[in-house]
A and B are shown apart, each in its own frame.
Chain A
Amino acid sequence: MRIPVVLTAILAVSVAAPCVAFAQHGMPGGTPMTFFVTSEPIGNGGNLGGLAGADAHCQQLARAVGAGNRTWRAYLSTQARPGQPAVNARDRIGTGPWYNFDGVMIARDLAHLHGDTLELARLGNNLHKRTGLTEKGQIVPGLNDYQVPRDTDWEYSKTTPYTNRHEMLTGSQLDGRAFPPGIDYTCNSWTSNADPTSGGPQVLEGGAGRPNAQIGFPDRNGGGNGSWNSSHGTTGCSQTALNRTHGVGMFYCFATN
């Protein structure tokens, strides 16, 4: 009687062990992925087809790697319009905790993700270059990867997937909430691929009449600060303009369940 019990225990351990050792998204016993960076952009600049289009992109990419059973949301805000309230990115993504492709926790909860207290903000969350992975488990090329002069030229970047592309569209403030109405921070609620019409100096912030998107960095290295969700703006909303500052229109996806 005793031997079968021991045998069963040994068997149970030996079956469970690999799951622990190689715990990964998609494997039995692994921590399921509930966060990723889109491995590819939609490709039409800041026109994502609105929040619905962006969510569908998240869902589609997740489905392609067998994670389509969850409800995926793009981490994007939209600004208030007459008769249309603002949408805050942080209110769209559930309550966490969120885990990346490797099963590593990005943040425990919304407060940890956004640094809602001074103490939390100073320590930071666990999103960095080695955890900000795509749904395929890829590291997103960042500031010091494959530096070539043409890495800000979309015609080049779109066929060269290892050039710097670390600017994630968020349209959000540091706290994960929408900017007040007026100056555009969301490429017209993610429906515009337009660039500024006036030929003024290129500045990386919103301004009157300037299509613009607020971006952040999964590698926490850029814009002189390293904010993951609200570092600076763009030179416009076309695919070409996004790439001018090392973005290609990728964004964060979070599972709400």
Chain B
Amino acid sequence: MKNRLLWMMIGPLVVASTAAAQGRGNVAMPTSDRVPSSLMTFFVTSRPIGDGGNLGGLAGADAHCQALATEVGAGGKTWRAYLSTQARPGQPAVNARDRIGSGPWYNAKERLPDYLNRRLQRPIIQSEIHGDTLDEARRGSNLTKEFAVTEKGELVNGIGDPMPTRHDILTGSQPDGRAFTDTDDRTCNNWTSNGAGSAQVGHSDRIGNGNQSWNSSHATTGCSQRDLISWGGVGLFYCFAVN
């Protein structure tokens, strides 16, 4: 009992002095290198739900975003999955772009100004990621492979990286961020199917299928976890903070 009390008192001191000793001779870790940064309002899920295109609907996907954010201490924000659902009798379509607030959005990594005093990390904004004007669509956005990191600040494996490729990101959306209006399934039955159906995906590394779309590059055949893997994804999706 006595020992335990003693350790409770000196323990923090030991830890602190050890940390200080390790700090000597190294460059001090700047506070803004914390991951995730306090600015984080965007991430790619570090892991899938794991049941193919069955995410438990939009609610299940949002909960996954919220849970992952909470794990890294960013649960104080309201997180939404970037997913559309298609119209059904008595149920209007939901557009991914209408779910995520207005931005701008920052990723998990806050960078210090570099040696030319430039902040490399520019946020992404609504109109640029969706190319709302021809100029914006042509110019593109800062949603690059390096920007599209997970809530832990980790890169998502893409083309050219070690297998398996995880760059297929579920969106169910058109390039403008809105739901498809045709009758084909583009959302794994509004994110409830892990079997038949199809999901529209984008590429987090902006490479694949001859285009660079982050949110609407191609469709999958099938909605099982195995189907998603066969196309170069595992069922990851984008999460945006609305506040």
Contact = CB atoms under 8 A, between A and B. Distances in A.
Interface of A: 105, 114-115, 117-119, 121-126, 128-130, 143-144, 149, 152, 174-175, 220-221, 224-227, 230-231, 244
A128 B122 contact: no
Given A122-B175, A123-B211, A130-B159, A221 B139 contact: no
Contacts of B216: 122-123
Contacts of B210: 105, 126
B60 interface: no
Interface of B: 115-116, 120, 122, 128, 130-131, 134-135, 137-142, 144-146, 159-160, 175-176, 206-207, 210-213, 216-217
Given A123-B175, A124-B211, A225 B134 contact: no
12 contacts: A115-B137, A122-B130, A122-B175, A123-B213, A130-B160, A144-B146, A174-B138, A174-B139, A221-B144, A224-B122, A225-B128, A226-B141
Given A124-B212, A152-B116, A174-B139, A118 B134 contact: yes
A64 B120 CA distance: 37
Given A128-B206, A221-B146, 19 more contacts: A115-B138, A118-B131, A122-B176, A122-B213, A124-B213, A126-B211, A126-B212, A129-B207, A174-B135, A174-B139, A220-B140, A220-B212, A221-B144, A224-B122, A226-B140, A226-B141, A226-B206, A227-B139, A230-B139
B138 A175 contact: yes
Contacts of A123: 175, 211-213, 216-217
Contact of A118 (B115, B137, B211): B137
B140 A128 contact: no
B154 to A, nearest CB: 14
A114 B141 contact: no
Prevailing SS type, chain B contact patch: loop
Prevailing SS type, chain A contact patch: loop
Contacts of B213: 122-124
Given A152-B116, A221-B146, A124 B140 contact: yes
Nearest to A176: B138
A225 B137 contact: no
A244 B117 CA distance: 12
B140 A130 contact: no
Nearest to A119: B175
Contacts of B131: 118, 121-122
Nearest to A246: B116
A187 to B, nearest CB: 21
A77 to B, nearest CB: 15
Contact of B207 (A114, A128, A230): A128
A64 B217 CA distance: 37
B137 A122 contact: yes
Contact of B142 (A118, A149, A152, A226): A226
Contacts of B116: 152, 244
Nearest to B177: A122
B137 A226 contact: no
Given A114-B138, A225-B140, A231-B139, A149 B115 contact: yes
Contacts of B212: 123-126, 128, 220
Contacts of B146: 143-144, 221
Contacts of A129: 207
Nearest to A149: B115
Nearest to B205: A128
Interface centre among B120, B128, B144, B206 (most CB of A within 10 A): B144
A226 B175 contact: no
Interface centre among B138, B145, B159, B210 (most CB of A within 10 A): B138
Nearest to B130: A122
A152 B116 CA distance: 9
Given A224-B122, A224-B142, A121 B207 contact: no
Given A128-B212, A221-B144, A121 B137 contact: yes
Contacts of A130: 159-160, 207
The 6 nearest A-B residue pairs measured at CB: A124-B212, A121-B137, A224-B122, A122-B175, A123-B211, A122-B131
